[in-house]
Amino acid sequence: MADAKGKEKVAKAELEARYKPSEKACYAVSVANAEADYAVAKEECDDKAGNDKKVCVKEANAAEARAKADAKAQMKTADTNKPATEKSAASASKKESPGEYVDDAVITTKVKAAILGEATLKAAESTSKPPRARFS
């Protein structure tokens, strides 16, 4: 019974991973596999008694934890190995043409020059001194 339910959950996770491929979807498939294997192992442990059952359950728990940790590590490794262009593509909502980039740079330069020319905004000419550190 646990085997059939586990296979169903794994199949569902795999279909979702194919529909929307991502590291998170691959992680979900790995977790579904780990949980299915745990359910089957735990069901096999139910047939045992006493100390054998305790050992079997502990081994099943350890195997599940190890499989989930491996899946998490694999997901983090996949994210780390992405090229910088893929990582920044998600944050960059629009692409600028070279002309737009130059226009932005010119405007930024003019604004900075205006700020530096304003007498009330000259922070570099401040006469106040920074507080001194006191040692007890």
Predicted TM-score (pTM) of this structure: 0.52
Pair of tokens at residue 58: 């502990």
Q: Give the start-to-end residue ranges of the domains of the chain.
A: 2-90, 96-121
Q: Report helix, strand and coil shares of the chain as percent, to nearest 5.
A: 75, 0, 25
**Most confident residue range from 21-30, 92-101, 121-130:** 21-30
d(CA 24, CA 27): 5
pLDDT digits (tens, 9 = 90+) for 38-54: 888 888 888 888 888 88
pLDDT score, position 72: 84
Pair of tokens at residue 127: 């006469």
